[in-house]
Amino acid sequence: MDIKFPRGFLWGAASAAPQIEGYATADGGGASVWDIYSHTPGKIDFGENGDVACDSYHRYAEDAALAANLGADVYRFSVSWARCDPLGDGNWNEAGFEYYGRVADECLRRGVQPVVTLYHWELPQAAEERGGWLVPETAEAFARFAGRMAEYLRGRVKLYFTLNEPQCTVTMSYGDGSHAPGRVLDKAGQFRVLVNQQLAHGLAMRAVKAADPDCTVGIVSTGRHCFPDSESPEDIAAARLAGFDLAGGDPLFTHNWLLDPIFYGSYPDCEGTEWAELAASVTPRELEIIHCPPEAIGYNIYHGKRVRAAGGGYEFVPEYPGFPRTSLGWPITPEALDWSVRYLYERYPAPTYIAENGLACADVVSLDGRVHDPQRIDFLARYLAALSRAAAGGVDLRGWLHWSLTDNFEWSNGYYPRFGLVYCDYRTGERIPKDSYYWLRELIAASRE
Ligand code: IFM
């Protein structure tokens, strides 16, 4: 298998508070928008919710041990804003901070570096009721929380990501309503949410750096990922164009609408389109705050679109009937980890992490008591080989994190899509490492020889 990464490459796995912890309001925590949304009839498949999830609130030490036994260098988890700042107004719940201190310590004790996502969609419900991500006050309140967390964890955490996938917050939480808080807004409303998320990044990054100048701060982005149909220069150029093109799909679900202003201080060129007026509505003062280039960038990549040159531009190549898909119906396209990462690095040449990558399977415990997941092993072998080609192609690739360490609450899909290297029996909380866990452990060990 041709999977090789540069020396010092970090292997890891990731998770997020609402998806694994459960017990959101224990010990003085506040409800997040997900706690309310998941109890709204009809919102979550099979009427499930995140009340208990993997019970990592109590079983976090087992998770840290699983990460360590995997050979992970890093474990990325999120800190729930609502758990620490129940009303989102700076009246801290110390027990929340102490919990995350224990999680970080448990990782460190086992030789795993904690990597913290400061916002993985845990908006306090109270902040949502004051306007949520439609108002800039939410960005300010979030930055206050981020700074306080960095102060609390100073010396224990070296790498922070401010926000996870703002594109999903914009287009799902406040776009089609399929994520909490379930608001359905027009493009202008969604654009304001984007701006407030960008402000949140800028303000939070500055607050974290002020609290702990030695740490590294990044952001995690997702969006349209394209790869060429062939290695002809025309197809390569076509796929590069399609990934960032305003006309290639919803611009709010691209990397460039999020990252261009953050890296370069301006929105992508949209002269003569319906977006021009929206982009012009962002004030110079807002742009100044938003322009805050991250010191590291994380990309969450699961799949991409095949593109070929056509008529001086590009076209998407349709997937054939029976195209390989995950149990969520997502196409299996390892090439995304090679080409899209290269295109992104050309545009945003920052130390790059794949902050999430993995697939959903309908995993079951077999009669022998084990979880056999050959599809995941095959998926990982293909995707990691593709990623190592991007590394060989000059991308400053610092690490890859599997989504996820354990199976977990997959938002509005509930618990049926299983993404973990470790199976979770949600009735008991029992964790069973899957075959892919052992496969990856060997790969990681071999990469260090
Ligand atoms: O589970 C999510 C995660 O929270 C964000 N990125 C995509 C994953 C799979 O859908």
pLDDT at 272 over 80: yes
Question: How far is residue 145's CA from residue 208's CA, in Å, rounded to a whole number?
Answer: 9
Q: How far is the CA of 427 from the centre of ligand 1 (A)?
A: 22
Question: Is there an atom of ligand 1 within 6 Å of 138 CB?
Answer: no
Question: Is there an atom of ligand 1 within 6 Å of 300 CB?
Answer: yes
Question: How far is residue 119's CA from residue 373's CA, in Å, rounded to a whole number?
Answer: 31
% residues pLDDT > 70 (the chain):
100
Q: What is the mean pLDDT of residues 221-243?
A: 98
Q: Which residues are catalytic?
A: 165, 356
Q: Note the pLDDT tens digit of each residue in 284-302.
A: 999 999 999 999 999 999 9
Burial grade of 140 (CB within 10 A; 0-12, 13-18, 19 or more): middle
pLDDT for the residue 228: 98
Class of domain 10-447: alpha beta
Nearest CA to ligand 1 atom 1: 410
| 6 alpha carbon, distance to own chain's centre | 23
Q: How far is the CA of 288 from the centre of ligand 1 (A)?
A: 30
pLDDT at 1 over 80: no
Q: What is the mean pLDDT of residues 65-93?
A: 99
Question: Is there an atom of ligand 1 within 6 Å of 60 CB?
Answer: no
Contacts of 401 (CB under 8 A, 6+ apart): 11, 12, 13, 14, 74, 76, 115, 353, 354, 355, 356, 357
For 173, list phi and psi in degrees, rounded to 5.
-65, -35
pLDDT for the residue 449: 87
Q: Note the pLDDT tens digit of each residue in 424-443.
A: 999 999 999 999 999 999 99
pLDDT for the residue 2: 86
Q: Of the residues 165, 168, 413, which should be mutated to test ligand 1's pocket, given the most ligand atoms within 8 Å of the CB?
A: 165
pLDDT for the residue 320: 98
Contacts of 315 (CB under 8 A, 6+ apart): 238, 307, 308
Q: Note the pLDDT tens digit of each residue in 352-403.
A: 999 999 999 999 999 999 999 999 999 999 999 999 999 999 999 999 999 9
Q: Note the pLDDT tens digit of each residue in 322-334.
A: 999 999 999 999 9
Question: Is there an atom of ligand 1 within 6 Å of 356 CB?
Answer: yes
pLDDT for the residue 6: 92
Segments making up each domain of the chain, as ranges = 10-447
